[in-house]
Chain A
Amino acid sequence: MSITIQNLNKQFGNFTALNNINLEVNSGELLALLGPSGCGKTSLLRIIGGLDVQNSGKILFHGKDVEQRDARERNVGFVFQHYALFRHMTVFENVAFGLRVKPKKERHTETEIKRRVHELLQLVQLDWLADRYPAQLSGGQRQRIALARALAVEPQILLLDEPFGALDTKVRKELRRWLRRLHDELHITSVFVTHDQEEALEVADRIVVMNKGNIEQVGSPDDVYASPASPFVYQFIGNVNLFHSRTHALWTQQQGDAVAYVRPHDIDISLIPQHSSLPVVVKQVRAIGSVVRLEAVIGHDGEVVEIELSRERFNLTPVAVGDEIFIRPRQIKLFEE
């Protein structure tokens, strides 16, 4: 089921949470809403799910306005950052909840409910926890149960609000890969909110980058990373060095004030000056896993440049703190100041 968002606005008092948002979520895709906290991504998600109401604008599911349908009628599965499992119910009852509250004539028989719940628990690979209470589960297990619970009512749309936000790094990585696989199996239109660019890049089909209630860019993870549409996106996704054009005119023909954005791993180093290279002094060398990160200072103005090299590349040109080296960007992007 596709979701269409038209001219959506949301205000909290004087604060504009969403500023005229237009967005199309394709049927069956996994879309990430990415942005810093307070950018409006969670508000947008909650409005889609019917948990909040917009001040103006429209939401359409599969071309139909859902204005008149409240949260319980939208047939949307919602997964919360803090799981929101019913703490007084067992895992089984949590998952069965959506089936038990159906109106009498639509309700399944007890055997049918049992079958479905166990099916879902098998899907999230936690069938053996059916009799436990949420407090007895780990964070990762709770979130998988929360997902099973949301899927129990066969929603047409799945909304996930920072689903991995409360988990530690390792569990988080496992779980997001698992979510991606699950989505590939189920093909249910899903929107998830995150402030973690790595998560969005790894999991989503498309990414919507948001800032201060506006959409900055919509695109595939590759698009968003390789050709950011705005300085904000450049800085938010991945590390970046800024070079002011006036001082580094050798890299650009552009007239007037502009800022050049260069990723740390798009900088080449050499020990001897080369065409249009810039002399810098190495201030710090840190090996982090498979990469080596250099911090260098541009001689004439003291600006700090971050450079990232693979270990192999570093071994070809080993440098030490205090060395003078020459840097040259492989790829730059200019934004007017």
Chain B
Amino acid sequence: MMSLPQPLINNRKIATHESKAVTLLLITVALSYLLLFLGIPLFAVFYEALGKGWALYWTALQDPDAWSAIELTLIAAAIAVPANLVFGVATAWAIAKFEFRGKSVLITLIDLPFAVSPVVSGLIYVLLFGAQGWFGPWLQEHDIKLIFAVPGIVLVTVFVTFPFIARELIPLMQAQGKDEEEAAVSLGASGWQTFWRVTVPNIKWGLLYGVILCNARAMGEFGAVSVVSGHIRGMTNTIPLHVEILYNEYNFVAAFSVASLLALLALVTLLAKSIVEIKVKRNGNRLPHGETE
């Protein structure tokens, strides 16, 4: 059989292609970096937690203080996420669909919790509502306890997590414009009908994405919560705080067992996030006015 010379075009390199060696090197660097800084620590958490057997793991999780920490974490997230859901949708709606004075100030303010160190944001609340704070005396008079109590933890959690949903929705809603809402209104829909039948379906994936991220942060927040919590066992400890206490007491199995819950949450979050991303891609057509011909 005669071997024909390859047509020249096949031998030509595509401009952005690198040689095999370079590709391999880049992939190796990226993967080892991931393994070193993300993979090994994640493995370590579960290894330490389960290292002494399932029995000890279960015992650690069944400890009443651990339960109370889990409960508090769930409460804080259960309040912070819906609160920021409402806030996020309202703000994104206002920013994307209306022109008003102070719009850029509002956009900047939304990012404040990202810019400020969580410890500082916790401290702000102590300075405002703590015993020596601005509103401290008034709160004491009325026998309301915010700092070193559950309400304080919820407050800082709301503060720290409030950019997530708004940030996710603003660019999405800006890109979608207000044509569809205007069409709905001109067809006789009320504001409420327009919101539920047109706006919400258009933003639902972005919204879910924001909720997932917001929830992950709400449950995992350490710094801000640490400042306002007071670390009272069984009362004002969230999961991250409880992990720290256990660790400081050299109770490694228990510390890692509880920490594994957070790690699990992270994995579930990643999974959910990937599913949403796939859904969004499949729904395609995220472009304004649906112009994908």
Contact = CB atoms under 8 A, between A and B. Distances in A.
Interface in B169-187: 179-180, 182-187
**Across chains A and B, which 5 residue pairs bring their CB atoms closest together, nearest first?**
A84-B179, A98-B187, A82-B289, A78-B186, A101-B189
A271 B292 CA distance: 55
B197 interface: yes
A152 B180 CA distance: 16
Interface in B196-248: 197-198, 201-202
SS class, residues of chain B in contact with chain A:
helix
Interface in B239-293: 284-285, 288-293
B187 A149 contact: yes
Most chain B C-beta atoms within 10 Å of own C-beta, residue among A50, A76, A83, A139: A83
Interface string A131-173: 0001100110000001001101100000000000010000000
7 contacts: A86-B201, A87-B180, A97-B184, A97-B187, A101-B187, A152-B187, A153-B188
A68 to B, nearest CB: 16
Contacts of A71: 182, 185-186
B290 A72 contact: no
B201 to A, nearest CB: 4
Contacts of A264: none
A80 B185 CA distance: 13
Interface size, A (range)? 20 to 34
A85 interface: yes
A51 interface: yes
Contacts of B3: none
A77 interface: yes
B190 A82 contact: no
Contacts of A153: 187-188
Interface string A24-39: 0000000000000000
Contact of B182 (A84, A85, A87): A84
Interface in B84-131: none
B215 to A, nearest CB: 25
A72 B194 CA distance: 11
Interface of B: 179-180, 182-190, 193, 197-198, 201-202, 284-285, 288-293
Interface of A: 49-51, 70-72, 74-78, 80, 82-88, 97-98, 101-102, 134-135, 138-139, 146, 149-150, 152-153, 166
A170 B133 CA distance: 72
A153 B188 CA distance: 8
Given A82-B289, A88-B201, A101-B188, 14 more contacts: A70-B185, A72-B190, A75-B188, A82-B291, A84-B183, A85-B290, A86-B180, A87-B202, A97-B187, A97-B197, A98-B187, A135-B290, A149-B187, A166-B291
A271 to B, nearest CB: 52
Contacts, number: 82
A72 B289 contact: no
Nearest to A49: B186
A83 B287 CA distance: 13
Given A82-B289, A83-B289, A134-B290, A77 B186 contact: yes
A282 B92 CA distance: 61
Contact of A88 (B187, B202, B292): B202
B196 to A, nearest CB: 10
A72 B186 CA distance: 5
Given A87-B202, A101-B187, A135 B197 contact: no
Contacts of A139: 293
Contact of B180 (A74, A76, A84): A84
A46 to B, nearest CB: 9
Most chain B C-beta atoms within 10 Å of own C-beta, residue among A74, A76, A82: A82
A85 B189 CA distance: 14
Contacts of B198: 86
A82 B291 CA distance: 9
B293 A51 contact: no
Contacts of A74: 186
Contact of B179 (A76, A82, A98): A82
